[in-house]
Amino acid sequence: MCRISRRSQFVALSLAQLSGRSCLCDIVSKLSAQAARLYHLSAGNLSRSTLSRVNESQPYTPYKAPCHKLPSR
């Protein structure tokens, strides 16, 4: 199983929240379009299956509160 960092998961979920993406295909396409910027955020490029597996295995709850506060600002 491919392991990704918590930082990559956080960047992916934050980008999805900020851009209003809801499905994995949209999230992954947005991430791949921003690949150069992901490098500067120290986040890796993710595939749809990897993002799906990591969201199942690593809880997203630590990011839930900060991500829900972002759009209100």
15 domain residue, yes or no: yes
List, for residues 23-72, the tens digit of each pLDDT value. Answer: 888 988 888 888 888 888 878 778 888 888 888 887 777 767 766 676 65
Span 5-17, pLDDT tens digits: 788 888 888 888 8
Q: Is residue 1 part of a domain?
A: no
Cα–Cα distance for residue pair 28/71, rounded to 1 Å? 20
Residue 58 lies in a domain: yes
For residue 39, give its domain range. Answer: 6-69
pTM: predicted TM-score of the whole model, two decimal places: 0.69
Asked, for residue 30, whether it belongs to a domain, the answer is yes
Q: For the chain, what is the domain count?
A: 1
Rounded to whole angstroms, how far apart are CA atoms 34 and 43? 11
